[in-house]
Structure 1
Amino acid sequence: MSQQQRGHGPLSSRQPGRTLPAPHEESADSPPPARFVGWLGGLGAVAAGYGVFQFLFSVLPGSFEGSAARYVIAGVSGLGICIAAWLVAALLRARAAATERASATRVGPAATAPGAPDSLPQAIASAYDTLLDQVSVVDDPEHGRLTGWPHSLGEDSPSRPTPVGTAYGLHIMLDLGVPDGRLSTGDLVDTLWRMRLPDGGWSARSQGSEARPEVTALVLGALARAGASGERLAAEVDRCASGFTRQLDRAGWESTHVVTTVLRGLLRAAPRSESLPVLRQALADGAISDPHRDHLRCWGYRLQPPYGPPSPLHTAQAIVALDRAARVLGEGGDTRAAREDGIRWLLSCPDAPHDTCLDLENLYEEVRRPRTDDPSRHEVLNVRHFTASWLARALLSPGALEIARAEGLQDELRVRLEGAVAAVWAGQTDGIWYWGRGAGTEVRRPISMTYQGLSALRTHAVWLYQPAGRTHM
């Protein structure tokens, strides 16, 4: 079992809106077959074992080395039958419970919730209204008027806009086209520039006053999409690239999440940057071979040893970043081979059904860096990964569609893509996505999750549309 599934290390598995029962715990609403089989396993196994004991004791010849030997043989045989019967009953109970859980998950809590949207246009309209209602306008004595969002919608603490929340909010507004004048994207752009750190760059709320490349690249990508000045962007790109090296930021350079985030952001903000080929090569070199899936290459959460176990999430992030880089920079043989192997790896998922398989489990990741003012202490960036949306985006990438057509994998891609999109849709209510924190009661609404969910659904909807007489692949 992988580190993600066990919940150890910098990654842990999270299933929004779902609480996993304790081992061997049977819930009160277990299906009748599971309860019956559980009773049978507890009582029937003992009865079966006792029956075998009685039968053997009665049929073994009396001359069989005395009555003690008869007791031993009959007792051991009865105990073996008892254990075997209990194991069979436990297996049947587990299968019955798993079937029930899979059926419930396939429907999804959001799909049946009161007021859940019936269509993507309705979900988009609801998301837009919610974001308008949740936008925060703060007069900051140092930065002036700030308009944007915090990391999560509906935070209890004072909802001062943050660079991360506002950048994702700007991405959403640009995707939705800002259908009316109730919110100005210009105000969001101005806010991001005002939140720039004194020495340049941006950081997350938990990272303090030192710029970090993944947040800086995220903000620069949003500003570039909004039409920010190229000269102004170039100065920030240079600062970001010069500070993001293995020597200056080893933890970030070895993180798949950080490298892919920086690569995607700089491809938008500075497509001619000299750092892009270097980042792409570092990402391609970090691919690992998975012996459980025909030794296809994929990615873990790290790009240097120890790489961690193969990760569908990080493989999808790498595919999206490498596919974009190929469109901008062209692509060499080694990089192309790694990207295509990653696509084949995603298409070889052995689990089923593909809307509830383990490849779609959300992950919670911590990016730890030593603090520059006190290397004995660490700053921590908490990242909530919406895995299903990343897989949908990776499978909808032009490179994935090309592989499916060239190698006859259209059915594999269609089934896995439909499963990922179904999981994305099931995670939202009224166009807003929710993150449940494991067995706890706290439920968050990260704005990044809503952006990723809407982006995946919009991309899928565009892909589905075909003029009459044409097919998708």
Structure 2
Amino acid sequence: MRSRRPGPAPPAADGEDPAGSPPARFVGWLGGLGAAAAGYAVFQALFGVLPDSLDGSAARYLISGVSGLGTFVAVWLAAALLRARAAAGNRGGSGPDLPGTGASGPLPQVFASAYDALVEQVCVVEDPRRGRLTGWPHSLGESTPSWPTSVGTAYGLHMMLDLGMPDGRLSTGELVDTLWRLRLPEGGWSARSQGSQARPEVTALVLGALARAGVPADRLGAEVDLCTAGFTRELDRAGWESTHVVTTVLRGLLRAAPGSPLLSLLREALADGAISDGRRDHLRCWGYRLQPPYGRPSPLHTAQAVVALDRAARVLGEDADARGERARTAREDGIRWLLACPDAPHDTCPDLENLHEEVRRPRADDPSRHEVLSVRHFTASWLVRALLTPGAVAVARAEGLEAEWRVRLDGALAAVWAGQRGGVWVWGRGGDGTELRRPMWMTYQGLSALRAHAVWMYQPRG
């Protein structure tokens, strides 16, 4: 049973520098004299005060020598511990130092490396029909020549906005124009593997990126209407039953169309799709489907649902009606479920395993055949983002779960950090066993998780 404490402090960054407390300052001062000097001082002091009644000078030398040696070891270990703790504090608990990062720590270097990689690998091509395209394919470093895609360019635009566009080597306007030029003839957007029919999850992703880049609502309006009109249970049953699709559409429309009537319906479908898990105190969570068969309880899909419902709560509210209350209850149970992970260590536990799922839909041109969208999920990044939502912090604060919150967050963050190489996240090896896959969405999710954690943990000094 978890303990409950009245009025706990909210989970926050570590407070006082461990090297700044009075005992630590004393040990640091003593260690500054040198462990050997401290040991010798103790030896001399004891030898001078031990009584002559001891059996000869040899006993006095022995006692003083052992005490001096013990002091040497203790001071040396204490000083080493303080140095290690100070170094860990400078790293912000997010991973090992990178070569050449200097006093600023590794995170700015990761962001700079990511930006450089995006600039170096941007694709600029002249399309005879659509004009000049500036963006990215699905993955960085693809072995075959590839043109910008809707998915790759949308995630690239998100990253450019996160990184702050520090110079003029890339233009937000060119990326926005490219996304408009990649729009399908009948409106909307689709993934490279989905053909010529617009799909709601990709359309919502692009609309969210465009809205975040400052495209006005009146310009987005027609595309929002097409997206919402086409995403119904009758027209896209597979999409409505997919936790991934519903959460993706919900997040995109919350940015692009916060007044859309579809938002409340999507939130209701997500809340109603939660399932009870007897292995974790019958707390509710999510599987990969929102209708039977739901599949096994999934940390990845639970984190996606928590993020989407938390954002919806800030736009739609949760106190106006019974639907909002059901959404809040499901969201808070999902947070408790994530915090109840029974496995350890939490940087390698099964809750952090990356997943691969497929969304199968009948093809518009031949309903007897299916379109298959292959979706890979960076689970650790989703857990970081879910645990850093205001709702997750509030649950941890109110229910005395700060320790569980911090341990799970630190573990997920360590797993996120471990996945990057030079600011770019690596999924693993491709089907041919030789090519490292570096999907744009994975780097975006890794960067956004690290950025969210850095913002949350920041504490101004003084």
TM tier relative to shorter chain? 0.7 to 0.9
Counterpart of 1:283 in structure 2 is: 270
Q: Which amino acid aligns with 2:171?
A: S
Q: Which residue of 2 aligns with 1:91?
A: none
Counterpart-to-counterpart distance in 1, 2:294 and 2:99: 43
**Aligned pairs (5 A) from 1:79-94:** none
Deviations 1:243-270 (A, max 9, x none): 0011000011100000000000000000
Structure 1: gaps of 5 or more residues: 1-109
Q: Does 1:271 align with 2:263?
A: no
Structure 1: which amino acid aligns with 2:304? Q
Report the alpha carbon displacement of residue 116 of structure 1 after superposing the two structures with TM: 9.6
Deviations 1:315-366 (A, max 9, x none): 0000000000000110121110000000000000001000000000001111
Q: Deviations over 1:72-91 (max 9, x none)?
A: xxxxxxxxxxxxxxxxxxxx
Listed as ranges, the matches of 1:37-436 within 5 Å are 119-331=106-318, 332-436=324-428
What is the number of residues matched between the two proteins? 360
> What's the secondary structure of 2:416's corresponding residue?
helix
Q: Provide Cα deviations, 1:387-411, integer angstroms capped at 9, x if missing partner.
A: 0000000000000000000000000
TM-score, normalising length: structure 1: 0.74
Inter-partner Cα distance in structure 2 for 1:170 and 1:162: 12
- Of the three residues 456, 459, 468, the one matched with 2:452 is 459
Q: Work out whether residues 277 and 297 of structure 2, in 8 Å CA contact, stay in contact via their aligned partners in 1.
A: yes
- Which residue of the partner structure matches residue 446 of structure 1? 439
Superposed CA RMSD: 1.7
TM-score normalised per structure 2: 0.76
Counterpart CA distance in 1 for 2:278 and 2:368 is 38
Distance 2:435 2:238 in 1: 29
Distance change (3 Å), C-alpha of 1:219 and 1:446:
same
Alignment check: 8 A CA contact 1:115 1:430 kept:
no
How far 1:438 sits from its partner (Å)? 8.4
User: What are the Cα deviations for residues 52-111 of structure 1, in whole angstroms up to 9, with x where unaligned?
Assistant: xxxxxxxxxxxxxxxxxxxxxxxxxxxxxxxxxxxxxxxxxxxxxxxxxxxxxxxxxx96
Q: Which moved more, 1:229-238 or 1:298-307?
A: 229-238
Output the amino acid matched with 1:297.
R
Q: Which amino acid aligns with 2:256?
A: A
Q: Is the 8 A contact 2:240 2:246 kept in 1?
A: yes
User: For 1:455, what is the secondary structure of its paired residue?
Assistant: helix
Query: Deviation string for 1:277-313 (max 9, x for gaps)?
Result: 0010001100000010000000000000000000000
Identity in percent: 79
Indicate if the aligned counterparts of 1:154 and 1:445 stay in contact, CA closer than 8 A: yes
Instruction: Provide the C-alpha distance between the structure 2 equivalents of 1:408 and 1:288, rounded to a whole number of angstroms.
Output: 24
Secondary structure of the residue aligned to 1:146 is strand
Give SS of 1:352's match: coil
Output the CA distance in 2 between the equivalents of 1:115 and 1:205: 39
Aligned equivalents of 1:145, 1:156: Cα separation in 2: 22
Aligned to 2:79: none
Which of 319-328 and 153-162 deviates more?
A: 153-162
Deviates more, 1:175-184 or 1:112-121: 112-121
CA shift, 1:466, in A, is: 2.2
1:443: Cα distance to partner?
Answer: 2.1
Contact 1:432 1:445 (8 Å CA) reproduced? yes
Whole-angstrom distance in 1 between the partners of 2:286 and 2:269: 12
- Residue equivalent to 2:72: none
CA distance in 2, matches of 1:298, 1:115: 43
- The separation in 1 between residues aligned to 2:175 and 2:227, in whole angstroms, is 21
Contact map agreement 1:315 1:342 (CA 8 A) in 2: yes
- Rounded to whole Å, the distance in 2 between the matches of 1:229 and 1:127 is 28
Answer whether contact 2:425 2:442 (CA < 8 A) is retained: yes
Give the distance between the partners of 2:444 and 2:171, measured in 1 at CA: 18
- Alpha-carbon distance between aligned partners in 1 of 2:442 and 2:192, rounded to the nearest angstrom: 17
Q: Distance in 2 between matches of 1:273 and 1:199?
A: 21
In the alignment, is the contact (CA less than 8 A) between 1:150 and 1:160 conserved in 2? yes
Tell me if structure 2 keeps the 8 A contact 1:111–1:426: no
Return the letter of the residue paired with 2:250.
L
Ranges of 4+ aligned residues in structure 1 off by more than 3 Å: 110-118, 437-442
- Whether the 8 Å CA contact 1:116–1:430 is kept in 2: the answer is no
In structure 2, relative to structure 1, the CA distance for the partners of 1:314 and 1:224 (3 Å cut) is: same
1:157-191 residue CA offsets vs partner (Å, 9 max, x unmatched): 22200000000000000011100011101000000
Contact 2:101–2:109 at 8 Å: present in 1 too?
Answer: no
Q: Which has the higher contact order (CA 8 A, sep 6+)?
A: 1
Q: Secondary structure at the match of 1:304?
A: coil
**Equivalent-residue separation in structure 2 for 1:114 and 1:467 (angstroms):** 26
Provide the C-alpha distance between the structure 2 equivalents of 1:467 and 1:261, rounded to a whole number of angstroms: 35
Aligned partners of 2:137 and 2:147 also within 8 Å: yes
Q: 1:64 matched to which residue of 2?
A: none
Deviations 1:106-165 (A, max 9, x none): xxxx96998899611000000000000000001011110000000000011222000000
8 Å Cα contact 2:98-2:106 kept in structure 1: no
